[in-house]
Amino acid sequence: MRQIEVGAALLILLSAHSAGATPATAATNDFDALDEKTCAAFRRDAVPQSINTAEFIDAHIEPVSAAEEVYLSAEDSAFKLSPNPSRFSLLASRPSFSAWRLHTSLKSLVQSLKAIDLATPGESQEARRAKSATFALLAVEQTTAMFDAYARYDSARKPPFMTEATVETASVSLANMGPALALFVSCTVDAIKK
């Protein structure tokens, strides 16, 4: 539900910004504070840096064996088809469950980010990039929640798989990814208006 709320809020802000309106909740419109040079940098760098961040995090969490991945995927699909709390509890109790969910979320995030630059015939490239980035923001939110769950699980183990430096780098990078993509969307909308 939180993902839908975040996505809706971003779409409202995007619509308000496109129409030249200032959101009532903000004292100033920070989107207008970006100059063309800064916007060009966000439009050039936000997506590749976000992909690199997701791939870095994916490489620094514990691997899940191929057999375990197949099992978890099958059980997760079965749970989604027929929700059974005891089945989910059994699934969630597996040691690799948190890592598997985070790997899955990171792969989905990378796919969403790469989709931003895919060409679509018959549609404005910039409009499609803005729409795709808006949906990628939802994947960032989901991945952040999955990372937080994995980090809590990992920190309870002795010794944890991730180093403190990895946890901090990943946490800060994920926290910055959403705002960077929001600025990417804003700057792309500004480019469309010109």
The DSSP code sequence of 107-163 is HHHHHHHHHTT---TTS-HHHHHHHHHHHHHHHHHHHHHHHHHHHHHHHTSSS-SS-
Q: Is residue 24 a contact partner of residue 154, using CB atoms and an 8 Å limit?
A: no
**32 pLDDT tier (thresholds 50, 70, 90):** low
Q: Is residue 181 a contact partner of residue 119, using CB atoms and an 8 Å limit?
A: no
Q: Which amino acid is at 191?
A: A
d(CA 104, CA 140): 13
Domain ranges of the chain: 34-63+98-193
d(CA 148, CA 90): 21
Q: Is residue 184 a contact partner of residue 46, using CB atoms and an 8 Å limit?
A: yes
Flag whether pLDDT at 10 surpasses 80: no
Flag whether pLDDT at 34 surpasses 80: no
- Tell me the CATH architecture of domain 34-63+98-193: Up-down Bundle (1.20)
Q: Which residue in 109, 101, 108, 107 sits closest to 62, CA to CA?
A: 101
Q: pTM (2 decimals)? A: 0.78
Average pLDDT of the residues in 128-147: 94
**28 pLDDT tier (thresholds 50, 70, 90):** very low
